[in-house]
Amino acid sequence: MDSGLEELSATLYRMGELAHRAVLTALLECLNGREAYNEILEMSDTLVAMADHVEDKAFELIARFQPVASDLRTIKSYMKIAYDFARFGRYALDISFVNKRLGGLKNCEEWINSYVRDMGEKALDMVRLSIESLKSHDTQLAEKISAKENEVDNMYFEFLDKLIGRDTTTKCTVSSVLVVRYLERIADHATYICESIIYIATGQKEVLR
């Protein structure tokens, strides 16, 4: 049982690193105009395969050891976290697709580019915080995500408000709306991970959103 859980957490750490790299690569691509779609596609596919592996392994542990108490909460949460990491990969790929299909934000108005960069940094910061919380199982650290999630949410709505006031639709406005939407979703999944960490430690289903 213990060695099974260790294997699961080791896989999750690797997933966390890969997911962070995928989001970072997608953002850099989008903001600086480098084409990396195939690279990110591979990362995203790998994350999905790893999430499947975590689920299979977790299922096997349940069948073989009938875990209870914190072991059971850990296994359930690890399955969810693996899915959250796979979502990071998927949103990275979505961002990359926007870049591929509509062109990135490199040549857009300066304020759009820097707004998305700011929001992207905050979202990446949340991804890192979720990974750190997972590694340390530190609930106080995990709770810190709540304020950050609020900030990203507010930025998302504020951005929409800014664009609503304009009467032209351009490649830039469409791409940037999609990208901030994906960033907002990434922030949500980072928050779910932190909620799972608190659930593992306390059994309480705390809502940090």
Partner 1 sequence: MAAKFEIQGLNAWFGLKHVLKNIDIKIEEEAVTAIIGPSGCGKTTFIRCLNRMHEITPGARVSGKVLFNGINIYGNGVDPVMIRRKIGMVFQKPNPFPMMSIYDNVAAGLKLNGVRDKKILDAVVKQSLELANLWDEVKDDLNKSGASLSGGQQQRLCIARALAVEPEVLLMDEPCSALDPIATAKIEALIRKLAENYTVVIVTHNMQQAARVSDYTAFLYLGELIEYGSTKQIFENPKHELTERYLTGEFG
Chain centre to alpha carbon of residue 15: 11
CB of 143 to partner 1, least distance (A): 19
Q: Which residue has the tokens 């600086």?
A: 32
Q: Provide the minimum distance between the beta carbon of 12 and partner 1 in the complex, in angstroms, as a whole number.
A: 20
Cβ proximity to partner 1, 29 vs 71, nearer residue: 71
CB of 14 to partner 1, least distance (A): 25
- Tokens standing for residue 35: 């084409």
Please state, in angstroms and rounded to a whole number, the distance separating the CA atoms of residues 123 and 121. 5
Closest to partner 1 by CB, 70 vs 107, is: 70
Phi-psi region of 203 (alpha: psi -120 to 50; beta: other; left: phi over 0): left
The distance of closest approach from Cβ of residue 7 to partner 1 in the complex, given in angstroms and rounded to an integer, is 17
* Among 135, 163, 151, residue whose Cα is nearest residue 187: 151
- For the bound state, the minimum distance from the C-beta of residue 4 to partner 1, rounded and expressed in Å, comes to 13
What amino acid is encoded at 34 in this protein?
R
Residue 67 or 89 having the CB closest to partner 1: 67
Site residues (vs partner 1, CB under 8 A): 1, 66-73, 203
On whether the CB atoms of residues 178 and 98 are closer than 8 A, the answer is yes
Name which of 67 and 104 has its Cβ closer to partner 1: 67
Please list, in sequence order, all residues whose beta carbon lies within 8 angstroms of the beta carbon of residue 42, skipping any fewer than 6 positions away.
none
In the complex with partner 1, which residue's Cβ is closer, 113 or 196? 196
Residue bearing tokens 């900030």: 151
203's CB contacts (< 8 A; 6+ apart) are 73
